[in-house]
Amino acid sequence: IAATVMPLNGLPLLLPGAVELIWDRLLFIALAALAYFWGGRERVDARIYSKVVYTLYYLYSMHAIAMVWFNQFHPAYIILALVSVQMTGLSFRYMQHAAVFLAVHFTVFCSLLIYAPQFSFQETLLGIFITLICFGSCLLFVRFKTDFLENLKMNRDLLRSLINKTEASIFITNTQG
């Protein structure tokens, strides 16, 4: 969240007519920092922590989409909102959570596009198509990430069980010996 919020703080300087509230960006940076440091503690319940972080993800990304609406679909805000939602979607650990997150945001973003009075029918369809491509590619990357992490965990568990079950000595080396 902090990494995607930082570029947004410069938009009011680049876009003089932009509707921005700096305090909301600073609030998200502070909440992200608190969540980060809270997660580093030893006695944090992982389920509660995940719910707090996921809630923060939803709030932040909905805020990014709301800024698109408030700035009348300025291209810079559209791009930053889509990138923010994609980056946040990649942060989810499980495929199901990421899919729900992206589906909710796809629905919200497309609803805003449909009800935006400044777009023609063709522009709205193009916007929905671009949004579908962005969110679909993010879902594909999340799938690759979750498969990789699952395979990594399975290999680690297999190696751990082999080491625990064998009575002989085992030497683990790299390809150079």
Q: pLDDT (tens digit, 9 = 90+) per residue, 100-127? A: 999 999 999 999 888 888 888 998 899 8
What pLDDT was estimated at residue 2? 58
pLDDT for the residue 144:
92
13 to each of 20, 38, 79, 151, how far by Cα in Å? 10, 33, 17, 46
Which residue reads 């805000």 in tokens?
Answer: 77
CA nearest to 116, candidates 106, 103, 127, 131: 127
**Which whole-number Å values give the CA distances from 15 to 19, 20, 72, in the listed order?**
9, 10, 12
State both tokens at 89.
Answer: 């979607």
Share of the chain above pLDDT 90, in %: 14
112 SS3 class: helix
Give the pLDDT score at 100.
92
CB 82 within 8 A of CB 134: yes
* Out of 71-85, 89-103, 136-150, least confident range: 71-85
CB 147 within 8 A of CB 119: no
pLDDT at residue 103, as a whole number: 92
pLDDT of residue 39: 85
pLDDT at 23: 76
